[in-house]
Amino acid sequence: MCGIAGFVGPVPGDLSATVLLKRMIDAIGHRGPDEQGIHIDPGVGLAHARLSIIDLSSGQQPMANEDGSIWVTFNGEIFNYVELAERLRATGHRFRTHSDTEVIVHSYEQNQEQCVDDFNGDFAFAIWDSRRRRLVLARDRMGVRPVYYMQIGQTFAFASEVKALAAIPGVDLEIDPIALDQTFTFWSPIAPRTIFRGVSELPPGHMLTYQDGRIAVRRYWSLQYPKRGDAKPISESVAAEELHDLLVDATRLRLRADVPVGAYLSGGLDSSVTTALIRNYTKSHLRTFSVTFESSEFDESEYQQELVRALGTEHSSVLCTRDDIGRLLPQVIRHAERPILRTAPAPLMLLSQHVRENGFKVVMTGEGADEILAGYDIFKEAKIRRFWAGSPGSPMRPRLLRKLYPYLVGLQGQPQPYLEAFFRAGLDDPGNPFFSHLPRWRMTSRLKQLFSDDVRDAISDYNALEDLSGQLPAEFGQWGPLSQAQYLETSLLLPGYILSSQGDRMAMAHAVEGRFPFLDHRVVEYANMLPARLKLRGLREKHILRVAMSRHLPETIANRPKQPYRSPDAESFFGKAQPEYVREMLSEDAIRQTGLFDVPAVAKLVEKCEAGRASGFRDNMALVGVLSAQLLHMSMVGKAAQGARQVAHAAG
């Protein structure tokens, strides 16, 4: 894991190429604190901040081929680099290092842009092909590693984080109202759009070429599902064994490192699976880490300790309090570089700090299992709602809603008419492509009532659902209901929030690399083609995973219902230990200055939350959304923020 940055074209402003690259890479130096490097050709610059994990002694970047005609700066890991290097040597390529970075260089020499088809990994890289005067950017299939780009006059620039682009003279970031609308609908902007106007994000599974002043973006991989009623004919026992073997191999590959590899252990099924696979199929010493909470509503330490005892891991945890969340939010937003609607990233930032303080740079985690194997309640919810839609007048069918979200005490305490009204969204149109997600998205969209008149005017003709509908794959309508719901979750929330705001950004804030066996593209492709009945058996989520992995886990863990990772929200920002920034960011003057939200509406929300009367998801998401957007605006937008960045660069 590292940070990458660079440009093609004239150097903006009056800086030298060296100074510009140094500014850019310093801005994301937290991603690679071990060493830095730059490469400059006429009209081209590449920069790299290294977190050394593979080939510690000779894996420095940017790295070139033998004659210096091809250069690469690379963030991430190519997990099958050993096998690829052997194949490349057999065709005559000579290697000077033992790094996965050099595999990218020679693979590009051999296969040009098609080289990505061979890579099993999490990556974002930039290749400068000096003979063709062409820059190539690529991002991994699932969107684990980020890369952003923008055009500044005649100069094209890219970086792992927007902070590096903001270090370029003349860049003055602005909030994009459309992206804000998308965030307050889907929890994140839809790539390539970002929260900043003029800054684009390369979507997962895409490549970009920049040549002769022109940008060309193409998709090289996409999520695929069987046509409705055309799933792979396979028995449960065979599917369980094949899934098991794929996960074993995905885990084996992700243990490749020249530094120790630890594991996150939440207490849920997914992280328990990855931890058990490390213990049962490798000789690696197993070090595990977890986060705990004061409140039993969020804390899973009982299950964490049960698995620690069962597997005999060396374990430690860090307690995250409400005060910690309130204290950490400004850092969270500085690293996330986007508004968030939940505080869940903050404990994960604290956990990555704990991991790093214990001498680890790499951790295995269970992200992706819920998306590809139907683990979330939203999949069960959609199944119940479809059943209900078949007989909307039935008084019995909507009572199944009580089987949803058992961990949400507030929701379970609501009267039946409330539940029926909430989950009824779209019930009269089960053929709607967004049927599965309409209750969630409509609830989130109500937060837009907080927008200022200026923002409302800017998005008056925009409809986020219509926009998304126009971006769906042509074959979407041919997929079954569960596949459609999984696609929406896997293509939107997973890369836009789970792997970004909760994943890469929070881990890399302390230079920790997360690795995700469930997101090995072979596992994803296999899971996607399985029949829905093997993933969601009745209302039993991740059925096939439980069958495949029950031999390795205590029964209480293997059969434990899904409890999503959550943390305290609005309550974290009020009380005796209220951070000073909270009152400042939510003051009438600050709200008026940013211009994003309606002053009286925010004042009413703050009064309600401060009095401890925040009710349900809506108030909590609203408070966190407003506060995080305010923090983002104050730290990254406008002349004042740019001046602060320049002072920081000068001081550095």
Confidence at residue 401, expressed as pLDDT on a 0 to 100 scale? 78
- The CATH number of whichever domain residue 64 belongs to comes to 3.60.20.10
555 shares a domain with 577: no
283 shares a domain with 206: no
Confidence at residue 564, expressed as pLDDT on a 0 to 100 scale? 79
Confidence at residue 276, expressed as pLDDT on a 0 to 100 scale? 94
Could you list the residue range(s) of the whole structural domain that residue 190 is in? 2-219
Of the three residues 565, 596, 627, the one that is the final residue of a domain is 565
140 shares a domain with 14: yes
Residue 301 lies in a domain: yes
Confidence at residue 647, expressed as pLDDT on a 0 to 100 scale? 40
Residue 199 lies in a domain: yes
Is residue 65 a contact partner of residue 49, using CB atoms and an 8 Å limit?
Answer: no
Residue 463 lies in a domain: no
335 shares a domain with 232: yes
For residues 472 and 491, what is the distance between their CA atoms, to the nearest angstrom?
Answer: 10
Of the three residues 195, 219, 243, the one that is the final residue of a domain is 219
623 shares a domain with 492: no
In this structure, what token pair is assigned to residue 285?
Answer: 């010493």
Residue 372 lies in a domain: yes
Residue 453 lies in a domain: no
Of the three residues 565, 594, 609, the one that is the final residue of a domain is 565
Single out the residue of 131, 133, 136 nearest to residue 147, CA to CA.
136
In this structure, what token pair is assigned to residue 395?
Answer: 């008084």
142 shares a domain with 158: yes
Largest CA distance in the chain: 75
Tell me the Cα Rg of the chain. 24
209 shares a domain with 68: yes
Single out the residue of 247, 300, 305, 310 nearest to residue 562, CA to CA.
300
For residues 492 and 497, what is the distance between their CA atoms, to the nearest angstrom?
Answer: 8
194 shares a domain with 295: no
Confidence at residue 615, expressed as pLDDT on a 0 to 100 scale? 78
**Phi, psi (deg, nearest 5) at residue 389:** -60, -25
Ranges under pLDDT 50 in the chain = 640, 643-652
Residue 460 lies in a domain: no
- Residues annotated as catalytic are 2
**Cis amide bond preceding 62, omega within 30:** yes
Q: How far is CA 84 from the centre of its chain?
A: 27
The helix or strand, by DSSP H or E, that contains position 74, with its residue range, turns out to be: strand 70-78
How many separate domains does the chain show?
3
560 shares a domain with 584: no
Q: How is the chain split among helix, strand and coil, in percent rounded to 5? A: 50, 15, 35
Helix or strand or coil: residue 1? coil
290 shares a domain with 158: no
Neighbouring residues of 367: CB distance < 8 A, sequence distance ≥ 6: 270, 494, 498, 499, 503, 514, 516, 518, 519
Residue 444 lies in a domain: no
The helix or strand, by DSSP H or E, that contains position 582, with its residue range, turns out to be: helix 580-585
Residue 465 lies in a domain: no
Single out the residue of 303, 268, 296, 271 nearest to residue 286, CA to CA.
271
584 shares a domain with 543: no
- The CATH number of whichever domain residue 377 belongs to comes to 3.40.50.620
231 shares a domain with 351: yes
Q: Which one-letter amino acid corresponds to residue 40?
A: I
**Cis amide bond preceding 10, omega within 30:** no
